[in-house]
Amino acid sequence: AAAAMAEGEELVSVDYEVSGKVQGVFFRKYTQGEAKRLGLVGWVQNTSHGTVQGQIQGPTARVRELQEWLRKTGSPQSRISRAEFSNEKAIKVLEHKDFQILK
Please identify every stretch of the chain with a pLDDT value under 70, giving residue numbers as ranges.
1-8
Express each pLDDT in 57-86 by its tens digit: 999 999 999 999 999 999 999 999 999 999
Give the CATH number, domain containing residue 68.
3.30.70.100
Q: Give the contacts of 18 (CB within 8 A, at least 6 positions apart).
A: 27, 51, 52, 53, 70, 74, 80, 82, 83, 84
Range of the domain at 63: 11-101
* Model pLDDT, residue 38: 98
* Model pLDDT, residue 7: 55
Domain-embedded: residue 1:
no
User: For the chain, how many structural domains are there in total?
Assistant: 1
* Model pLDDT, residue 8: 58
Domain-embedded: residue 3:
no
* Model pLDDT, residue 102: 97
The residues that are catalytic are 28, 46
